[in-house]
Amino acid sequence: MTRRFRSREWFDDPHRPDQVALYMEKYLGWRYSYEELRSGKPIIGIAQTGSDLSPCNRVHIQLADRVREGIREAGGIPLEFPVHPIQETGKRPTAALDRNLAYMGLVETLYGYPIDAVVLTTGCDKTTPACLMAAATVDIPAIVLSGGPSLDGYFEGDDLVGAGTIVWRMRRKLARGEITEEQFFRACAGSVPSMGHCNTMGTASTMNGLAEALGMSLTGCAAIPAPYADRSTMAYQTGLRIVGLAHEDVKPSDVLTRDAFLNAIATNSALGGSTNAQPHLQAIAAHVGVELKPSDWQLYGHDVPLLVNMQPAGKYLGEGFYRAGGVPSVMYELREAGLLRDTLTVTGKTMFANLDGREAENREVIFPFETPLSEKAGFVVMTGNLFDTAIMKTSVISPEFRARYLSTPGNEGVYEGRAIVFDGSEDYHDRINDPALNIDDSCILVIRGCGPVGWPGSAEVVNMQPPDALLRQGITSLPTIGDGRQSGTADSPSILNASPEAAIGGGLAWLRTDDIIRIDLNKGRCDALVDEATWEARKADGLPAIPASQTPWQELARQTVGQLAQGGCMDLAVKYQKISNTVPRHNH
């Protein structure tokens, strides 16, 4: 029996022929015929995130044509529409501010228009969670089409340079006086030789990989480089498949189960994935109604080994990762090790069936589970008097950092240091080289006022580099702590995403420069060694000042946003789930 799609409420309402006429008229004037719109075929939305403002996703402008061909071939009717732009490197004060804005706009589009199913075009960091959050809220059949990374970058010969990662590494060289500003810019330009999102295992590659791990894209979709012919083929296949999902009525709530999220957590560890995966997966889970706790990252992710030798935790870039087998080959290793759960996916098969025969092609890029790049590579989930929850990415702890800070004989994994506290990144950049701070290699850099309320939006600023004087001594990193985030392309083992943030009274608000902080990775503790009476007395000084809101959305975002530990969602939005079960009122 043929399904009656929700779009029929627009184009086939026998009680309101006047409304049907209004709904159809402008679509008739553009592309589609009266017969098509009333045929009962599924209307498939293409949520277009590519634009000149969003170059990481711009490949989707071309790919959309192939998606349309697949939809038409399978008997659907495509309708492409824009999504609010989110470009990580272009948006000020932070692209994270617009994740919830894009989410909210996409919810309204998917719910309020005659769309039966949707292709979610993703790429740059926040576009993936924003689209998945919206699809989860509305709960119509949906599938992710990743845009893919750029081609591998090179600079001055055969040295691989990865987008984002090269910025953090070259800025240290610039501070040491080893390169000129022109060389800095040229190296960064060399990391982006083509269209596509970052070619490192930053947040973009991570979140598109986790969309695949969740079961929301076709097998092998995430890692195909944007310019490859395979990417165009994947777009066509995605267009074909979304029509099948519409007829089968397979919805995000069917795919995005707790088991699927636990698969994604394990996969993130094996990938060496971004710390931004934590709030983004938490947000998707919250909007689909799945319980996911910060402690799940420790329980299901920490002991998983690092398998992918890709920058920033390794050597290679996106092309090498794709040719080695991409996400399916990583998940194959996890399946064979018994760390995955079999789940439903948008392919029409289970996850385990999708992974059959997907063993890696290149063991220099994707390591075997038995001989990984490193053991126990997941996040350490931390707590203490500075925050209730924060995380630390262990896969980017360098041998130098471990030897300097985490290898005291008989007390391994424990470090105490003097805090240097900065209120926002402007304060950090203004004072990091101030001799009066007396920063040495035993200090811990702390930044606050960078969370969802304080910034606003939560900024990628926690990966603070040491003062120039220490960099010239060969000290490339200090322990860093903050209530903001950091780029997934960064190689800093920061303690970050601290919740609650200082701006709403989290413990970082009461920390002072010269306090001693004790970090214990074995116990998952991070505490200021300050007596309780002094700690309480400081609260009389009030919260640290934060900048005023500069736009209406900034003010509204601050009033409605939750903390990073819970995903940084709009708190009021989480209660709206499976809203496609109802139909909007007529508009006339």
User: How confident is the model over 509-520, as pLDDT tens digits?
Assistant: 999 999 999 999
Any bridge partners for residue 540, and if so which?
A: none
138 in a domain, yes or no? yes
The pLDDT of 412-419, averaged and rounded, is 97
d(CA 121, CA 80): 11
d(CA 297, CA 268): 10
Same domain, yes or no: 286 and 412 = no
d(CA 274, CA 138): 27
Dump pLDDT digits (tens) for 536-580. 999 999 999 999 999 999 999 999 999 999 999 999 999 999 999
Q: Which of 408, 488, 499 is nearest to 451 (CA)?
A: 499
The pLDDT of 404-420, averaged and rounded, is 96
Dump pLDDT digits (tens) for 133-183. 999 999 999 999 999 999 999 987 668 999 999 998 888 889 899 999 999
Dump pLDDT digits (tens) for 79-97. 999 999 999 999 999 999 9
The pLDDT of residue 2 is above 80 = no
576 in a domain, yes or no? no
d(CA 438, CA 428): 14
Query: For 119, phi and psi rounded to 5 degrees?
Result: -95, 120
**Global pTM?**
0.97
- The pairs formed by 399-402 with CB atoms below 8 angstroms and a separation of 24 or more are 400/476, 400/477, 401/477, 401/493
Same domain, yes or no: 404 and 340 = no
Q: What is the CATH number of the domain that holds 431?
A: 3.50.30.80
Same domain, yes or no: 209 and 323 = yes
Give residue for tokens 């022109």. Answer: 182
The pLDDT of residue 357 is above 90 = yes
Give the model's pLDDT for residue 224.
Answer: 98
Same domain, yes or no: 499 and 531 = yes
The pLDDT of 234-246, averaged and rounded, is 98
Least confident of 21-30, 318-327, 457-466: 21-30
d(CA 153, CA 193): 6
Query: For 348, phi and psi rounded to 5 degrees?
Result: 95, -10
In the structure, what pLDDT confidence band is assigned to residue 490 with cuts at 50, 70 and 90? confident
Same domain, yes or no: 289 and 399 = no
Look at residues 162, 191, 220 and tell me which one is the last residue of a structural domain: 191
Per-position DSSP letters for 5-40, written without gaps between them? -TTHHHH--TT-HHHHHHHHHHHHHHT--HHHHTS-
Give the model's pLDDT for residue 563.
Answer: 98
Least confident of 31-35, 62-66, 408-412: 31-35
Same domain, yes or no: 146 and 157 = no
Specify the 3-state DSSP secondary structure of 264.
Answer: helix
Dump pLDDT digits (tens) for 210-219. 999 999 999 9
Strands in 117-122's sheet, in edge-to-edge order, are 77-82, 43-48, 117-122, 142-146
In the structure, what pLDDT confidence band is assigned to residue 491 with cuts at 50, 70 and 90? confident
Give the model's pLDDT for residue 156.
Answer: 79
Same domain, yes or no: 235 and 323 = yes
Range of the domain at 445: 379-540
Tell me the two tokens of residue 380.
């350490």
Give the model's pLDDT for residue 168.
Answer: 87
The pLDDT of residue 323 is above 90 = yes
Give the model's pLDDT for residue 351.
Answer: 98
Average predicted confidence (pLDDT) for the chain: 96
409 in a domain, yes or no? yes
The pLDDT of residue 294 is above 90 = yes
Same domain, yes or no: 288 and 182 = no
The pLDDT of residue 1 is above 60 = no
* Residues 528/419, Cβ–Cβ less than 8 Å: yes
Expressed in percent and rounded to 5, the helix, strand and coil fractions of the chain are 40, 15, 45
368 in a domain, yes or no? no
549 in a domain, yes or no? no
Same domain, yes or no: 142 and 169 = no
* Helix 277-288 and helix 127-138, axial crossing angle in degrees, nearest 10: 10
233 in a domain, yes or no? yes
18 in a domain, yes or no? no
234 in a domain, yes or no? yes
d(CA 528, CA 507): 9
Give the model's pLDDT for residue 549.
Answer: 98
Q: What is the CATH number of the domain that holds 203?
A: 3.40.50.2300
The pLDDT of residue 362 is above 70 = yes
Q: Which of 44, 31, 34, 35 is nearest to 5 (CA)?
A: 44
Strand locations in 357-493 (E): 379-384, 387-393, 414-423, 443-448, 480-482
d(CA 29, CA 348): 36
Give the model's pLDDT for residue 31.
Answer: 80
* Residues 467/477, Cβ–Cβ less than 8 Å: no
Give the model's pLDDT for residue 30.
Answer: 79
Look at residues 166, 191, 216 and tell me which one is the last residue of a structural domain: 191
* Residues 287/573, Cβ–Cβ less than 8 Å: yes
> How many domains does the chain contain in total?
3
Tell me the two tokens of residue 540.
């009389």
Tell me the two tokens of residue 452.
């969802």
Q: Which of 351, 108, 54, 368 is nearest to 226 (CA)?
A: 54
Same domain, yes or no: 206 and 183 = no
Same domain, yes or no: 273 and 401 = no
Percent of the chain at pLDDT above 90? 94
Q: Which of 577, 471, 472, 451 is nearest to 111 (CA)?
A: 577
Q: Which of 393, 394, 119, 365 is nearest to 277 (CA)?
A: 393
Give the model's pLDDT for residue 84.
Answer: 98
Same domain, yes or no: 117 and 132 = yes
